[in-house]
Amino acid sequence: MPPTAISQAPGFVGRPTRRVDGPLKVTGRAKYAAEYDAPGLAYGYIVSSAVAAGRVLAIEADAALQMPGVIRIFSHADRPATATADKAWQDEVAPPGHPFRPFGSDEIHFALQPIALVVAETYEAARDAASLVTARYEVTQHRVDLKRERATAYDPPEKRAGIPPPPAPRGDFAQAYADAPVKISADYVLAPEYHNPMEMFGTTVVRNDDGKLLVFDKTQGSQNVKAYLAGVFGLPEGDIRVVNAYVGGAFGTALRPNMSAVLAVMASLALERSVRVTLTREQMFALGYRPHMEQTVSLACGRDGKLLAVHHDAVSGTSPFEDYQEAVVNWSGMLYACANTKLSYALAKLNTNTPCDMRAPGATSGVYALEAAMDELAHAAGIDPLELRIRNFSERDGNTDKPYSSKALMLCYREGAARFGWSRRQLAPRSMREGNELVGFGMATGVWEAMVVPVTAKAILSADGALEVSTASSDIGTGTYTILAQIAADAFGLPLERVTVRIGDSALSAHPVEGGSWTAASAGASVSLACAKLKEQALARARRMTNSPLAQAAMEEVAFTDGRIALAGDAGRGVSLADVLRASDLGHLEEEASFTPDEKLAGRYASYSHAAVFAEVRVDEELGVLRVPRLVSAVAGGKILNPKTARSQILGGVVMGLGMALHEEGLFDHDLGRLMNHNYAEYHVPVNADIGDIDVLFVDEHEDKLGHLGVKGLGEIGIVGTAAAVANAIFHATGKRVRDLPITLDKLLG
Amino acid sequence: MIRFDYVRPTSVPDAVKALAAKPGAQVIAGGTNLVDLLKYDVAKPSRLIDINRLPLRAIEDTADGGLKLGALVTNADAAYDVRVAQRFPLLASAILAGASAQLRNAATTGGNLLQRTRCLYFYDPHVPCNKREPGTGCPARTGVNRNLAVLGTSEHCIATHPSDMCVALAALNAVVHVTGPAGERQIALSDFHRVPGDRPDLDNTLERGELITAVEVPFSDFGRHYTYLKLRDRLSYAFALVSVAAAVRLDAGRIDELRVALGGVAPKPWRNLEAEGLLAGAAPERRAYEAFADRLLAGAQGFGDNDFKLGLARRAIVRALTQAVAGTPQSQSDKRVA
Ligand SMILES: Cc1cc2nc3c(=O)[nH]c(=O)nc-3n(C[C@H](O)[C@H](O)[C@H](O)COP(=O)(O)OP(=O)(O)OC[C@H]3O[C@@H](n4cnc5c(N)ncnc54)[C@H](O)[C@@H]3O)c2cc1C
Ligand code: SF4
């Protein structure tokens, strides 16, 4: 089946197109998981552990049980049976280890771990009763200080599926480093970051009379949650359907099934009624997070700036029970050409929940350290930082020696630098100033995997000429609804309003979790294939109609426009799709098609999206007050399906990168083993005043190996490199190298 | 479980009666702090007295040319009132440096004075805290104390009072009007908040059953020679790490009168009248500002995370005095420090 060529003007693909779900969202008609109602709905409220490590000796719930409206209190001491094997608890993206089981035992692994669920007739009654539930603990020594635990770090024995472990050393790093004329070595520390999308986790389980469960859940993968719940509770898959029609932000936090889903289903099954469980903002800080990280990067180059030696070591926090892994150091071996590399990555156990993927997991952390170190090297070599990157530009992935399927990074450097005015930069730090403020220009490279995954989609054409496309994808705010509508509308030459996109439902065609920035390319390709197949079917039927003007027509000779198929050069000679359906005696036409990544091509090429980020900072020299008045992000992401939603993705990524550079920090009390700033007032993310002008530009990049759409995905690339660009600009402004993020004003006081 | 009754009096005497009648009764005004504390199970009132129907929303002229702000005047209404902006731009500026537009629309003058500390431990009932539960200890001393005090602390508590508005009010010699079971009285703002000593649970000198009815700001004429300089962890919508309210009167090129209050560093707006007096007659120059800063910060002690406040406060005082003397007050919308 030949893929649908993306039609050019007057189509929608490639044009800035408003979100098709925008009006529903801004008028409140788009329903989120915790907003569904059901007859007899009961409400669950989670009681969280007060201690960070140990065991629960007793849950004292008598007073709570006496409260009016309280139905039952679940805990490790009183819960229905669940699967015993770890396998059943391992979802599609689980790291190796023993997945967390809410109420699985009396063991406490982290502060705020759920220890009980109070279910009551109203939310208020559940919450009120929950405040009466107390627990007695046996407290053991906790570990939350990565600096201390770095000594205990280990190479994870089992590797996480889909995450390449650090490649074997190349050449001889030690010798090359020792011999090199220019070298630097430094430690970089990252504070733990918490996702905190606007929508908090919530699950509404609607129980039908026949006992089947309709689960409205906040997730990035309805089918992942469905399979998980079926496994955990031993239910036939047909008895559960998971719906996530709208998701109020996720960033990776909803890749794995959440505790609200397990607990709501547990209660629903035990009580045989519909149940809703929602998390509080505080409890959102006890979920997966971007882990604490300690990194050391050593780089050496010749006087010409050519890299001679690269060493990158990272130690990341993980939970006591799972070995969460991400690709942190690999970037240092792939991004620039260098013959002598040594990369290592280890984990240290901390009393926290298992970290989880957070916008460009691994790259955000690792590329920060690499790009900050490259800036240090440029300074040591007396070379312009952009020039240093250009001199070390590589046409091949250094780790695998494969050529790139496309890599327009050089254009990002050039066009980004021109837009930013990089040439006005003075080489020496502290050489630019205005009034009380030191001015600095910094830049960094960003890189993220371009991935495609198998997706199946369906396309249905109805008698009135309306088109529906569907797949069990998720739109976590990225614009999936919109780009799928654009692709489908163009395939049939229809206005957007004639296309309905259905996603966010496990009953739809197969789609993995929405993550890794693969959705636009993969779901887009499957929808395009389904539409192509549907067009073939429609044309075949049109050909067979009596006296068909298209009797001899081949696909290349016809055009689909406004509900008609007609000869390309002669719009008069054609038939309406409605007539095709009538002649076939069918209410609708339907096709399903699967997009499968071309493994052979994938084996030969390395595929990544790239960015060059340029930032200007201004630092009040005396007070450390820091502003980022402008930033340019030049992105190479293959074909841009929708410049408007694409730009929004980059803006969001950049803002999150600013947060990483300047604000975000989970503050742990090391004596108590507890995160203390568990709310939006004290866990800082950037506010408008912190965000200056962000200029996003997409460079031309032709990608033809990653699937026929030529799309790479843009959900994550915007964050990678941003923090390093800002940190590097701060060095340029002040001459002070701050390597521990976030860079708060106290770190800038001389 | 918090069981409380709820009353909504329409007169000050009724409110005071309701407040004095029940131990644990508490007033609610804008609710921007109290509702959070209720949700976190930190505040456990026996009775809530909603004072929003009391006639305390006016801003009145006083005989000496000052202003009296009713306890229910919102922070937004105070900051944008033309008389406040003209006569007390320092106060307007400090208010606008605080919180967010949404919060300022709800927050009231009385509530701002009585907002609780932002110590992270105070807000988490799972951990000890002497201010919340006397005698349990003060984990902040050795823990996360980046936002806590370096002045006026005790071994029992190192919390700050987080208000911006109060810092300006302290510099402006404001007076708090209260009404209690024993009648009305006035408390100088500088005597209103207290240092913790061995009673960290008591933030202020209000007696049981007393209600704030107004805050009076006496006439002053510093003209453009003022500033409110606030330093924080992001450029807006964050509590002060250090803030400085400064006002100066110059006479023949010398300092005639100086007032400086610090925020973010102590359990109360921090002033030192003696140090201010010493600067009278001095030439307005950096060396004098530095000497003043050292005096104002005398005895300051950090607890680890917040050690930086000592140096930062010193620099902030010097900069604020420079701004005030130059008549170039800090803008609260342009985030560049002047
Ligand atoms: C996220 C966030 C950020 C903030 N940032 C800042 C900031 O940067 N700077 C800043 O200064 N403030 C900040 N605030 C605090 C805000 O200014 C206060 O919450 C507000 O001023 C309190 O006023 P209210 O009327 O809402 O008080 P309420 O919450 O109603 O009450 C607070 C306390 O005052 C008592 N009370 C209220 N009125 C009276 C009265 N007339 N007599 C006796 N007792 C009374 C109540 O009993 C209660 O104990 C912030 C708040 C939040 C939530
Ligand atoms: S500083 Fe005060 S408020 Fe904070 S923990 Fe100590 S006693 Fe409690």
* A384-451+605-750: CATH, from 3.30.365.10, 2.40.10.220, 3.40.710.10, 3.20.20.70: 3.30.365.10
B61 located within any domain = no
How far apart are the C-alpha atoms of A302 and A279, rounded to whole Å? 54
Report chain B residues whose CB lies below 8 A from the CB of A111.
126
CA A333 / ligand 1 centre spacing (Å): 53
What chain B residue is nearest to A746 in terms of C-alpha separation?
A: B308
How far apart are the C-alpha atoms of B211 and B191, rounded to whole Å? 16
Q: Which pair of structure tokens corresponds to residue A603?
A: 């084996």
Confidence label for A21 from pLDDT (cuts 50, 70 and 90): very high
CB contact under 8 A, B143 and A671: yes
Residues A251-283: tens digit of each pLDDT: 999 999 999 999 999 999 999 999 999 999 999
Report chain A residues whose CB lies below 8 A from the CB of B234.
662-663, 684, 686-687, 689-690
Residues B267-305: tens digit of each pLDDT: 999 999 999 999 999 999 999 999 999 999 999 999 999
Give the mean pLDDT of A675-686. 96
What chain A residue is nearest to B312 in terms of C-alpha separation?
A: A623
B120 located within any domain = no
Report chain B residues whose CB lies below 8 A from the CB of A434.
none
Cβ of residue A618 closer than 8 Å to a chain B Cβ: yes
Pocket of ligand 1 (CB under 6 A): A 681; B 26-34, 51, 71, 98-99, 103, 106-108, 110-112, 114-115, 162-165, 211-212, 239
- Residue A727's closest CA among A664, A665, A663, A661? A661
Query: What are the start and end residues of each CATH 3.30.365.10 domain in chain A?
Result: 22-26+453-596, 384-451+605-750
Instruction: Give the model's pLDDT for residue B1.
Output: 63
B335 located within any domain = no
Task: Using the atom order of ligand 1, give the atom closest to the CA of residue B230.
Answer: 8
Residues B175-202: tens digit of each pLDDT: 999 999 999 999 999 999 999 999 999 9
B256 located within any domain = yes
* Coil vs helix vs strand at A558: strand
Q: Is the CB of B130 under 6 A from ligand 2?
A: yes
Task: Using the atom order of ligand 1, give the atom closest to the CA of residue B165.
Answer: 11
How far apart are the C-alpha atoms of A75 and A73, rounded to whole Å? 7
Dihedral angle, C-alpha A546, A547, A549, A551, nearest 10 °? 60
CA B104 / ligand 1 centre spacing (Å): 9
Nearest to B337 among A131, A623, A682 (CB): A623
Question: Using N-to-C axis directions, what is the helix angle for A519-544 and A480-492, rounded to 10°?
Answer: 30
- State whether CATH 3.30.365.10 applies to domain A22-26+453-596: yes
How far apart are the C-alpha atoms of B269 and B212, rounded to whole Å? 18
Q: Which of residues 694-713 of A touch B (CB under 8 A)?
A: none
- Kindly report the nearest CA distance between residue A50 and chain B, in angstroms: 6
CB contact under 8 A, B231 and A687: no
CB contact under 8 A, A672 and B127: yes
Instruction: Give the model's pLDDT for residue A414.
Output: 98
Confidence label for A591 from pLDDT (cuts 50, 70 and 90): very high
What chain B residue is nearest to A622 in terms of C-alpha separation?
A: B315
Instruction: Give the model's pLDDT for residue A7.
Output: 41
- Decide the pairing of beta strands A202-207 and A275-278: antiparallel
Best to test chain B binding among A112, A123, A668, A745 (most B CBs inside 10 Å): A745
Task: Using the atom order of ligand 1, give the atom closest to the CA of residue A681.
Answer: 1
Q: How many residues are given for chain B?
A: 338
Residues B28-54: tens digit of each pLDDT: 999 999 999 999 999 999 999 999 999
B234 located within any domain = yes
What chain A residue is nearest to B314 in terms of C-alpha separation?
A: A623
- Residue B303's closest CA among B151, B160, B186, B141? B141
Instruction: Give the model's pLDDT for residue A359.
Output: 97
Say whether pLDDT at A1 is over 50: no
State which residues form the domain around B298. Answer: 226-326
Share of chain B above pLDDT 70, in %: 100
The answer to whether the CB of A581 falls within 8 A of the CB of A588 is: yes
Nearest to A684 among B124, B233, B316 (CB): B233
Maximum CA extent, chain A: 86
Instruction: Give the model's pLDDT for residue A2.
Output: 34
What's the distance, Cα to Cα, between the start and end of chain B in Å? 50
The answer to whether the CB of A571 falls within 8 A of the CB of A560 is: no
CB contact under 8 A, A674 and B124: yes
- Kindly report the nearest CA distance between residue A724 and chain B, in angstroms: 18
Q: Is the CB of B129 under 6 A from ligand 2?
A: yes
B48 located within any domain = no
Confidence label for B76 from pLDDT (cuts 50, 70 and 90): very high
Q: Give the dihedral sign, CA A591/A592/A597/A599.
A: negative
What's the distance, Cα to Cα, between the start and end of chain A in Å? 66
Q: For chain B, which residues lie within 8 Å of any Cβ of chain A, measuring from their own Cβ?
A: 1-2, 41, 118, 120-121, 123-124, 126-127, 139, 142-144, 146, 231, 233-238, 241, 308, 311-312, 315-316, 318-319, 335-338
* Coil vs helix vs strand at A313: strand
Q: The CATH number of the domain where B264 resides is what?
A: 3.30.390.50
Provide the number of structural domains found in chain B: 1
- Kindly report the nearest CA distance between residue A368 and chain B, in angstroms: 21
Which residue stretches of A398-518 are H helix? 409-420, 480-492
How far apart are the C-alpha atoms of A193 and A378, rounded to whole Å? 29
The answer to whether the CB of B61 falls within 8 A of the CB of B82 is: no
Task: Using the atom order of ligand 1, give the atom closest to the CA of residue B178.
Answer: 42
Q: Which pair of structure tokens corresponds to residue A625?
A: 């007050």
How far apart are the C-alpha atoms of A660 and A365, rounded to whole Å? 10
- Residue B200's closest CA among B143, B86, B116, B277? B116
Q: How many helices (H) and strands (E) does chain A have?
A: 19, 31
How far apart are the C-alpha atoms of A452 and A450, rounded to whole Å? 7
- Residue A367's closest CA among A631, A648, A717? A717
B276 located within any domain = yes
Residues A222-242: tens digit of each pLDDT: 999 999 999 999 999 999 999
How far apart are the C-alpha atoms of A736 and A725, rounded to whole Å? 14
**Catalytically annotated residues of A:** 716
CB contact under 8 A, A622 and B319: yes
Confidence label for A4 from pLDDT (cuts 50, 70 and 90): very low
Give the mean pLDDT of A547-552. 95
Give the mean pLDDT of B59-78. 98
Share of chain A above pLDDT 90, in %: 96
Task: Using the atom order of ligand 2, give the atom closest to the CA of residue B130.
Answer: 7
CA B107 / ligand 1 centre spacing (Å): 6
ipTM greater than cut 0.95: yes
Residues B109-140: tens digit of each pLDDT: 999 999 999 999 999 999 999 999 999 999 99
Which residue stretches of A131-254 are H helix? 146-149, 173-179, 222-233
What is the identity of the amino acid at B39? K
Supply the pTM of this predicted model: 0.97
